[in-house]
Amino acid sequence: MSKEPGVYKVDQRLHRVAWLRLLHLGRDILFTFVLPYALLSPHSLHLPALPVSSYWAYVLAGLLPSLYLLLDTLRRGSVNPFGVFLLVGSLSNALVSFWRLDGVYFALKDASHSLLLIVVCCVSIALRRPLFEFLFYGLLAPETPQRQWQLTRALRRADIRPVLGWATACVALKAAVLAVISYAVARLVVMAPFGAPQFNAQVARAHAITFPVYLLLDALFYGMALWLTLQAMRRLTGGRAWPWQEGFWAALDDQEGTDNAHG
């Protein structure tokens, strides 16, 4: 049986979005992990070292991900509070790269971004503007002003707000787990003092351990948060459509009309 034209267009759009997301993920991994690792420990990859001191190699490894994130944000041209947090966290991490930290201070620096995310999540829940609301809005990326207005109203409904709170709690829990792991790995692996020949290689090894853990925790906890929110949004349509399906926005319109009639 052939597909309806509208369904075919939706499938094409979903495939295009999926490929773009995968390409973006690959670019993220290249600039935030692979290239910094190569700067910190070029010999482990059989690459020549840059003609700079180990200090400047360490600084460049910290600056590169931040510069990439800044340029990527400017290229996209749209920023939500979650994106601002990631950008500020990355830029602050770049600034801290100039400090000569080792031992417990370096371990705390490695865990600091996750600790800050926990604080932001808790504050956003207390202010009744859960952080995951902004992340979900950015993921759905409504294409027209009408749909932007629909999604904003839907996410601020009294029956959706608690779900967004639980989703944000999932993000905070992920950050707590990652903070503990990052601190422990840094304390166990990065033993050399700052500036020693082994220091950069040990930092690279620590990040090589935590990076796949970071991806796994992201997939698990953000996946949980996303599933909770998607289920809640589908319930808004009476179970008729998921947010990526063609009938979702029309179903939201119908629900809005029903609520107004009952109101």
Both tokens of residue 185? 């790995």
Closest CA to 226 of 177, 179, 173, 164: 164
The per-residue pLDDT for 256 is 63
Question: Which parts of the chain sit beneath pLDDT 70?
Answer: 1-18, 77-82, 255-263
Instruction: Examine residue 218 and state whether it is found in any structural domain, yes or no.
Output: yes
User: Quick check: 32 and 72 in contact, CB under 8 A?
Assistant: no
Instruction: Examine residue 263 and state whether it is found in any structural domain, yes or no.
Output: no
The per-residue pLDDT for 32 is 87
Q: Give me the amino acid identity at 127.
A: L
Instruction: Examine residue 239 and state whether it is found in any structural domain, yes or no.
Output: yes
The per-residue pLDDT for 16 is 67
Instruction: Examine residue 262 and state whether it is found in any structural domain, yes or no.
Output: no
pLDDT in tens, 165-213: 999 999 999 999 999 999 999 999 999 998 887 899 999 999 999 999 9
**What is the domain range of residue 134?**
5-256
The per-residue pLDDT for 15 is 65
Quote the CA–CA distance of 54 and 195 in Å, as a whole number.
Answer: 7
Quote the CA–CA distance of 171 and 132 in Å, as a whole number.
Answer: 8
Q: Residue 172: how many CA atoms within 13 Å on its side-chain side?
A: 17
| Structure-token match 């459509």, residue found | 241
Instruction: Examine residue 191 and state whether it is found in any structural domain, yes or no.
Output: yes
The per-residue pLDDT for 226 is 94
The per-residue pLDDT for 1 is 46
How many domains in the chain? 1
Percent of residues in the chain assigned helix, strand, coil, to nearest 5 = 80, 0, 20
